[in-house]
Structure formats: C-alpha cells, structure tokens
Amino acid sequence: MIPRPYEKAKLFMGILSTRGFPDSLRTELERLFGPADMVTEPFPFSFTDYYVPEMGEGIERFFISFSRLVSPDELAAVKTATDRIELSLAEDGMRKINLDPGLITEASVILATTKNRAHRIAIGMSLYAEVTLIYRSHGFQSFPWTYADYRSERVQTVLLEMRKSYLAARRKETEA
C-alpha cells in the first residue's frame, strides 16, 4: 500500500492567561505558525481552580487560530514550541500564560498534552494527543475526559466557527 499524505487540519490554541494577550506573544505565534485568522475576546476561566496555585487569580481563557492549514503530524513540534514560549514568559518559574495547541478537522477537535492517560496516544517527543470532541449531528459531542470548558456552549461556539473557517480553507485548497 502506498501511504497517502495526511489531510490537513486547522491549528488553534486555547490560551489561559493572567497577563492578557501581549502583542509580543501574538507576534511570536504568528512568526511560528502563520497569520491568525481568529482571536477571541477573553472571558473568565471559572471551570476549575487547578491552575490558580501556579498562575494566580484572575485567569482568562481565549483562543487563537491560524489561517495556514497544517499536517496533523506537526502537532508534537507545535506543542514543543509552545512549551518553550510558556517557559520564556514564566515568572519565578511559574507560568502566567498557558498555551494549549490543538487541531480542528472535519470530524474532531484534538488537543496535545504532556500527560499520558488511558485515552491518549503518543505522538512523539514525549507528548500525547487526545480526541477531545467529535463533530456529529451539527455539533460537537464530548467524552467523559473532555475538559469542562470544552464542554461549554461558549467554547463550542468558538470551535464551530473555527471549523467553518477550516472547511472553507480546505475547499479553497482543493479548488486551487
């Protein structure tokens, strides 16, 4: 059998921050991953207090997505790059900005992580990926392991907009 190239996906990042979205961070992300096609307004992250000991109070959640479609096998390299950026922005060894890269495909939302669990697959570079949401019946469906914010209507509305953008970009690529 002759291997076929992977179908490209839309790269996005869920960002948690107690420092907003510094211009320098956006510049660096666009330098690495291409122009952003969506940046959401921040909203309070009140789904868990897991990050408070490290990041402090007042955590906000927002998302950025990129117009250039990527091969899914780039996800480990993207996560490695975002981990380096997080460390460069840390204060006294504590992250103040958390970058969680993921991919949107026609059928799913996939997130990269450093933590292994039963439902995660190794993707290289000591990293893992999980299918966090699947697209079915005109919306996203979650799993028992899906993070609470990714289950929320607010986040799923953002992800549905990114999915529409992805599908339009894919159509454009196939027409070219």
Query: What is the rounded distance in angstroms from the CA atom of residue 74 to the CA atom of residue 58?
Result: 32
pLDDT surpassing 90 at residue 174: no
Entry field: residues in the chain = 176
Alpha-carbon distance of 86 to 14, in angstroms, equals 13
Residue-wise pLDDT for 12-54, tens only, equals 999 999 999 999 999 999 999 999 999 999 999 999 999 999 9
3-state secondary structure of 176: coil
Cα 45 from Cα 60, distance rounded (Å): 5
Q: Average pLDDT of the chain? A: 96
**Cα R_g (the chain), whole angstroms:** 16
Is residue 83 within 8 A of residue 114, CB to CB? The reply is yes
| C-alpha to C-alpha distance for 3 and 88, rounded to whole angstroms | 38
Q: Which regions of 71-126 does DSSP assign to beta strands (E)?
A: 97-104, 108-113, 121-124
Locate the domains of the chain by residue range: 9-175
Residue 46: per-residue pLDDT: 94
Amino acid at site 50: Y
pTM of the complete model: 0.96
